[in-house]
A and B are shown apart, each in its own frame.
Chain A
């Protein structure tokens, strides 16, 4: 266990083994509204590197919005977000992202390999070709998610679950310091679900992981900390599941949070 304590909040750093390490995610008083309706109000979160955070909450509660704010895809109306000590826009190449399996590009003519190779793109490599190393890395990532044999298949011929695995491989190929996943198990089979979380647990040794999920069972056994989003944001360090937390997944009442954990780095939240 690393020497791990919080210092003055203004400094925004925790000290791990004497090395100054910025928070993986540092969100301060962030609010976001969409077409006049508040989606998120006054969100605060400081997440250490190496954490495994699960985000739960009802549909339409703002989970995906919060994720997009952290990725820099959306800009907060108020407040500040730092990812690995940088504004999200500057930290872009340091994070990986697995989007929800949505309807985009169903007929797009592209192979599994070419989708996964997108994980190797970055601003500094524009105009250059993929290298042999890129291909090997991507092949390895595809093997990890069990899609190695299908790398030449067209993406349009895959099932939803298979496509999701490809998106996970693509995110892994970015070598992320933080990996964000938006309901990664929504359309995959149950067998792959536990495989995926075992795999994420392994990956968590090197990277911070943030997962939006509906799956409470998974929350209890894999995640180190838990947050609930329903317009407001509740952070729960520890990740153990309680009866109240089951309610939280659906209703997310604001008064169900554990407090006073030994190495808490967040102020206790007070709701009006």
Chain B
């Protein structure tokens, strides 16, 4: 691995993995405890429409896609608030529509053939310097926002109705959360691809939830696990020449089942020693 570090693309890949894992740890924790995994998946996939639009209009793809994902997330947020029962349908339709729009727009873009696979499964090995700066500023913004609203995010996530009754603007917070997710999704796509965004966003928090005693610790442990998964995945993908995004997720998936196995065994052990 060390010899790989002489390559700039590898150093960038490691930095990208680190920065994105931190965002995923913080936001993923909020996604999991607020049960908005589906809407996050919708935002990630619909963002592909933004990537297509950016290419078509010759805008920087990260900016175009981030703006598009932001608009989509706000519409999905409104839908989930206005009609709770139809929300999943509306999100599902936008999910598919966004992707279809992206594919058509890229087809229509003259003389430029974007590699769809690099968006589906990520291209962490070709992260430009520019994106690293975007990731870093996003990390800082997300961290500051979550720190500022920390008490309120906890309350909203734990008991939305009570939070409303004490006067917390839960709707505003919900939209702030969606906005942060939408702006981060593009960077997560860089690392693991849009198909795997949800995995990197949810697997570390699922594991951490069982071993932590507060939301802050859950965020911290999730970030650390994310870093561990991306680094290990990158190493495997470098060593065996595998698709990096998919390898990262396989590592995360294996860790998930290991932690599940430990749970089952330890509860079995507990019943045995009690009985």
Contacts and interface: CB of A to CB of B under 8 A. Distances in A.
Contact of A121 (B151, B157, B217): B151
Contact of A127 (B149, B154, B212): B149
Interface in B185-236: 209-210, 212-215, 217-218
User: Chain B at the A interface: mostly helix, strand, loop or mixed?
Assistant: helix
B222 to A, nearest CB: 11
B168 interface: yes
Interface string A72-100: 11000000000000000000110111010
A172 B197 CA distance: 42
Contacts of B213: 109-111, 154
A155 B118 CA distance: 43
A36 to B, nearest CB: 12
B161 A121 contact: no
Q: What size tier do the contact residues of chain B reach?
A: 20 to 34
A110 B214 contact: yes
A217 interface: no
B106 to A, nearest CB: 41
Contacts of A110: 154, 158, 213-215
B117 interface: no
B214 A114 contact: yes
B139 to A, nearest CB: 20
Given A97-B161, A99-B159, A130-B151, A109 B215 contact: yes
A96 B158 CA distance: 17
A137 interface: no
Interface of A: 35, 68, 71-73, 92-93, 95-97, 99, 104-105, 107-111, 114-115, 117-119, 121-124, 126-127, 129-130, 154, 170, 174
Given A93-B166, A110-B158, A126-B152, 20 more contacts: A35-B85, A92-B165, A92-B166, A97-B165, A99-B159, A105-B157, A108-B158, A111-B213, A114-B154, A118-B151, A118-B158, A118-B166, A121-B155, A121-B163, A123-B168, A126-B148, A126-B149, A126-B168, A130-B151, A174-B166
